[in-house]
Amino acid sequence: MATNQEEVSLLGVIESPFVCRVQIALKLKGIEYKFFKENMANKSELLLKYNPVHKKIPVFVHNEKPIAESLIIIEYIDETWNQNPILPSHPYQKALARFWSKFIDDKVVGAAWKAFMTVDEKEREKNTEEVLEALQFLENEIKDKFFGGEEIGLVDIAAVFIAFWIPIFQEIGGLGLFTSDKFPKLYEWSQELINHPVVKEVLPPRDPAFAFFKRRYESLVASK
């Protein structure tokens, strides 16, 4: 249970979907925090101190206690601050939310990144198929305005990668991953999500994010 005197900070980069997840959770809860922008090419002493195992972002720090991994951070935030619940209260619904959030990380995020960051056509095709198959499962799963019902929940936050980052990747890389024709329900959900007032305020500006990932892609192409 949180007290009135809290020290909350977040280490990350604004272009990261994993950092954005944590920012959405914090915004939904109305929690003020300090943001420490990292340079992943020259990692700060603070990052190495708080996440010496993986040396990755995001790292959430609450009263000098660091927590890594975005989904774990979100659960911690939800259990520490009671207002505006992110996970369902019912054990079964909570288990489902955890399952689909992990599914997104295991089956969508990695494969989409690999499809984007490769110039090998066979590898790109293989990973594209994996993403399409996973997105179809999510298309079949969504029943309401959001995965969490009428309000944003854990799965929606996890899936912000699909709503905001995949369209950037496919535009830069010429991929056909996520369209309204292929996934009409999921596409409608994505528009609801990125236009939600909380999410809209937290998402990185699209043009700089696009330029950031375009530079990454062009560097890859130039190196081959």
Domain ranges of the chain: 8-80, 91-223
91-223 folds as Glutathione S-transferase Yfyf (Class Pi); Chain A, domain 2 (1.20.1050)
Looking at residue 148, its pLDDT comes to 84
H/E stretch holding 8: strand 8-12
Cα separation, 155 vs 141, in Å, equals 11
Structure tokens at 128: 């594209």
8-80 folds as Glutaredoxin (3.40.30)
∠ Cα 24 25 30 (to 5°): 95
> In order along the chain (224 residues), what is the average pLDDT of each group of 10 residues?
74 97 98 96 95 96 97 98 96 98 97 94 95 98 94 98 98 94 98 98 97 94 82
Does the pTM surpass 0.85? The reply is: yes
Is 8-80's fold the same as 91-223's?
A: no
